[in-house]
Amino acid sequence: MTKFLIRWGINALALYLAVLIVPGIEYFGEWTGFLWLALIFGLLNALLRPLLKFLTCPLILLTLGLFSILINTLMLILTSNIGQSFGIGFTVDGFWQALLGSLVISFVSVVMSLILRDELKGKK
């Protein structure tokens, strides 16, 4: 349960920083909306991303892993669409903004996971 909460917080922080850094990714609402967006983003990554990686495995191998960036971009666009359907004011203006946003989210997630790796492994 602690691992889930830490991962949820990392996703919320990564989405927040993507909104701050990338022009074209906007959020209108209260801070609690980031928690809902992080939950949507985390569920998409947990449920849909493995299937997409399996189906696009030859493309990922052919591009030496660069195609996984496009999968991350798709996850951000889907998060935006699902969030808007739930009334969360999160918008991504286009593909290139989503691509930059997915790079920011990936970078923040990697850095925060390295910082909190002991907590994510369950060690104390």
pLDDT tens-digit readout, 68-100: 999 999 999 999 999 999 999 899 999 999 999
Cα(87)–Cα(51) distance, integer angstroms: 27
Q: Could you read off the pLDDT of 7-58 as tens digits, one per residue?
A: 899 999 999 999 999 999 999 988 888 999 999 999 999 999 999 999 999 9
- Res 124: pLDDT: 54
Encoding tokens for residue 17?
């920083």
Q: Could you read off the pLDDT of 60-69 as tens digits, one per residue?
A: 999 998 999 9
pTM recorded for the entire structure: 0.87
Tell me the chain's radius of gyration from C-alpha atoms: 14
* CB of 33 closer than 8 Å to CB of 89: yes
